Amino acid sequence: MKNVALWHERDISHSSVERVILPDSTILVDYMLSKMTMVIGQMRVFPERMMRNLESTHGLVYSGQLLQDLVEKGMPRDDAYKAVQENAMAAWESDTSFQERVSKDARIAKYLDAGALAQHL
């Protein structure tokens, strides 16, 4: 209706919406659903390999969630980012556990206790 300038004097200048946009949109949705059905139907999942991949990061995949948790608990975002980034980089470079590093960081412990860290990491 927004494309119709004068609703009581409608002309064909706005008919492109009905002729082009709506049919093209429904055709696109049909294609997307068909493609996704095929992808999911042929997908093979290897839970053991997924777990090995997650463990190979030594917990770094949880750094984003930790950042959000710290901000939600009241830590300023810049401080939270710095604390998480420092621990993540140190864990990555030394091939050590991210979870162990953050659990020993006093800046993080001030906002999240060991129980909260264990729940999210």
47-92 per-position pLDDT tens digit: 999 999 888 888 899 899 999 999 999 999 999 999 999 999 999 9
Structure-token pair, residue 41 = 């139907």
Classify residue 5 by its DSSP letter: S
Q: Are 50 and 78 in contact (CB under 8 A)?
A: no
Over residues 19-48, mean pLDDT:
93
Q: How far apart are CA 94 and CA 88, in angstroms?
A: 10
> What pLDDT sits at residue 15?
66
In the chain, % helix, strand, coil (3-state, to 5) comes to 75, 0, 25
pTM of the predicted protein model: 0.61
Task: Quickly state the pLDDT bin for 5 (edges 50, 70, 90).
Answer: low
